[in-house]
Chains A and B, each alone.
Chain A
Amino acid sequence: MSAAAGDTVLEIRDLTVVFRTERGRLKALDRVALDVPRGGIVGIVGESGCGKSTLISAVIRLLAANAEIESGTIDFEGRDLLTLSEDAMRRLRGDRISMIFQDPMTALNPVLSIGRQMTDIQYRERIGGAEKRRRAVAMLDRVGIPDAAARLGAHPHAFSGGMRQRIAIAMALMAEPALLIADEPTTALDATLEVQIIHLLRALQRDTQCSILFVSHHLGVVAELCDRVVVMYAGTVVEQGDVRQIFHHARHPYAHKLLECDPARIAQRTRGLPTIPGDIPDLARPPPGCIFADRCDRAIERCRATPPPEIDLGDGHRARCHRLDEGTEA
């Protein structure tokens, strides 16, 4: 499913984010470009440290104080988020853009009841407290919290992890945002809970038709939930396409290897799990060429010398690799 140009809810172009640290300037994101179509679910996958979290922090503009946006645009519903004032940005948060986080245990305020937190976030609505509570109960019902009306006064610690994540989802979708950003929402949950949450998200997405930007390092979940997949490595988007293209025809050497190494996909019993040899490069001193060059088994001279351009592989499938430029099979 390719994204028609006018039908995207989020368009990121040429985004470069740098962190000022004691060790120097760390390039956390390098010329990142991706699209989220209206009503679509886009997954971002990559190892820890690949920049997934930095990317979504940049979108919602809650980056750390030492982060610097060197270049790029983040177009949301026609406006560049990077040029908005803090006030304007704040108005979007929780209203047009919502977020759910990785750790349900700590993402909710421990001293306020969930009812209080859910009415707090409705602060923009010009409705009475009773109406806000009613909406909160309705939403909690929708995400499957039993006996929601009675539990409005309960505090987060009274709920299990899976329930807390449902509450977080309820909070995020209550304002019917155009874009929901999910930062590894199932990483802290066990496998059965994970499945439930994914199904819940899918059902809610069908109902509300919101777009979802779903960050995860769990490939199986991404494969099941997402329409499009973006593969990141060390701050660069190395490949993106629809889920079928990525999972069955990954062309970038890293994406290919990543999928190969997923234990869920190993068909044969084996003594050793496959890994990608080497380490991610030092982001304070990135290599002049392709970021993956020194771990790539298909790297040539050109790979180490110049950064690869984004190659269009057709039908919305793109990858950053010199080897694909030659027209040879990956």
Chain B
Amino acid sequence: MFLYIVKRVGLGAVIIVIAIVLLYGMIHLIPGDPASIILGPRATPELRAALAAKMGLDKPFPVQIATFLVDVARGDLGTDVFSNRPVAEIVFSQLPHTLALIIAAITWAMAIGIPLGCYSALHRNTMIDKITGVISVGCITLPSFLVALYALLVFAVWLKWFPAIGAGRTGDLASQARHLVLPAFAIGLGWVGYIARLVRASMLEVLAENHVRTARAFGLPERVVIFRYVLRLAILPTVTVIGIGIGFLLSAAVFIEVVFARPGIGKLIIDSITTRNYPVVMGAVLASTVLFVVSTTLSDIVNAILDPRIRSSLR
């Protein structure tokens, strides 16, 4: 078990390193002089030379990469070309907003999705199950930014139930909560469907297994059978899925933040692209990638710990 954790974390670390190399290397893979790319076509030769020196772009590539990796390890993601603030500071100031959004989305998706999936599995092939199935599929395929746009249109502009823009006043929890509702709803909607389907499939699988039949044959009350014997096992895939889901949620957050003009990593990236502030873009993408790798690693490890079958196969 311990060995597995070590190996899994090691793999995660290797992937992060390769990702960093890729991100950094992309500047050089693109035809053209990196400094011009970063500064845009209107930069003067002096500015370009200054930037090149500052970023160490004149040194050989392996040295650049190594320097960058060391910098990242120390928490230095470079400096914003325009404001001279450390990129890390900019990125981490925006991260909490995106995290709040993601956590809210997952929470509501699980709160609705798990019971829904459970109910569908236990009432298989009834009208409700079939309708839920179709709606789930629909929700999964709908792009989240589309849901966001319609939610904005209906609930914010027409009905004026919720605010349309921003994250709310800082320090005012109620205001922040109100501003979270529509965005979290938009991101979470697809996930409700996905989790419901996943739990349903997983439960059906477990319900058909022999040990459930044994539990019933011993006359255990149905509630005990479902919750202690079936659901515990059926929930496991959901845990893994959430780990992978962080990646999709991060991507969705970009759109949602644009639609609702919310601060966050997504909006930061979009704004920085428009201003051609490449170090910030790279820093933000890097932070998101690290977050994604960490979450998948964690969920794999949690899954291994929770499911004794995996545990024993690792002995």
By a beta-carbon cutoff of 8 Å, the part of chain A in contact with chain B is: 60, 62, 90-95, 98-99, 101, 103, 106-112, 120-121, 123, 155, 157-158, 168, 171
Contacts and interface: CB of A to CB of B under 8 A. Distances in A.
A91 B220 CA distance: 9
A60 B217 contact: yes
A108 B214 contact: yes
B311 to A, nearest CB: 9
Contact of B309 (A60, A93, A103, A110): A110
Nearest to B306: A111
B233 interface: yes
Contact of A107 (B214, B222, B232, B308): B214
B309 A123 contact: no
B31 to A, nearest CB: 56
Given A123-B224, A155-B308, A157-B308, A110 B217 contact: no
23 contacts: A90-B219, A90-B222, A91-B219, A93-B217, A93-B218, A93-B219, A94-B217, A99-B218, A101-B214, A103-B210, A106-B210, A107-B210, A107-B213, A109-B229, A110-B233, A111-B232, A111-B307, A120-B228, A123-B221, A157-B309, A157-B312, A158-B312, A171-B218
A155 B307 CA distance: 11
Nearest to B232: A111
A171 B220 CA distance: 13
Interface of B: 209-211, 213-222, 224, 228-229, 232-233, 306-309, 312
Contacts of B309: 110-111, 157
B214 to A, nearest CB: 5
B256 to A, nearest CB: 37
Nearest to B124: A65
Which of A94, A109, A168 lies at the interface centre, i.e. has the most chain B CB atoms within 10 A of its CB? A109
Closest 9 CB pairs of A and B: A93-B219, A94-B218, A94-B219, A106-B210, A99-B217, A109-B211, A121-B218, A157-B312, A90-B219
B220 A107 contact: no
Contacts of A103: 210
Contacts of B209: 106
Contacts of B312: 155, 157-158
Nearest to B211: A109
A168 B218 CA distance: 11
Contact of B216 (A93, A98, A110, A155): A93
A111 B219 contact: no
Nearest to B230: A109
Which of B211, B306, B308, B309 lies at the interface centre, i.e. has the most chain A CB atoms within 10 A of its CB? B211
A110 B216 CA distance: 16
Given A101-B213, A107-B211, A157-B312, 10 more contacts: A62-B217, A90-B222, A94-B218, A99-B217, A107-B214, A120-B215, A155-B308, A157-B308, A157-B309, A171-B218
Contacts of B220: 94, 120-121, 123
A115 to B, nearest CB: 14
B218 A98 contact: yes
Given A106-B211, A108-B214, A90 B233 contact: no
A158 B309 CA distance: 10
Given A90-B219, A90-B221, A92-B219, A110 B308 contact: yes
A159 B221 CA distance: 27
A229 to B, nearest CB: 24
A62 B216 contact: yes
A109 B215 CA distance: 8
A176 B110 CA distance: 43
Which of B213, B215, B219, B220 lies at the interface centre, i.e. has the most chain A CB atoms within 10 A of its CB? B219
A107 B217 CA distance: 11
A112 B233 CA distance: 10
A112 B309 CA distance: 11
A193 to B, nearest CB: 19
A171 B219 CA distance: 12
A160 to B, nearest CB: 13
Nearest to B212: A109
Contacts of B210: 101, 103, 106-107
A93 B228 CA distance: 18
Contacts of A98: 217-218
Contacts of B229: 109, 112
B308 A111 contact: yes
Nearest to B215: A109
A19 B312 CA distance: 39
Contacts of B233: 110-111
Nearest to B219: A93
Nearest to B313: A157
A120 B309 CA distance: 21
A4 B147 CA distance: 74
A122 to B, nearest CB: 10
Contacts of B228: 112, 120
Contacts of A111: 232-233, 306-309
Nearest to B125: A65
Contacts of B215: 109, 120
Contacts of B219: 90-95, 121
B217 to A, nearest CB: 4
A98 B233 CA distance: 25
B75 to A, nearest CB: 40
A200 B213 CA distance: 24
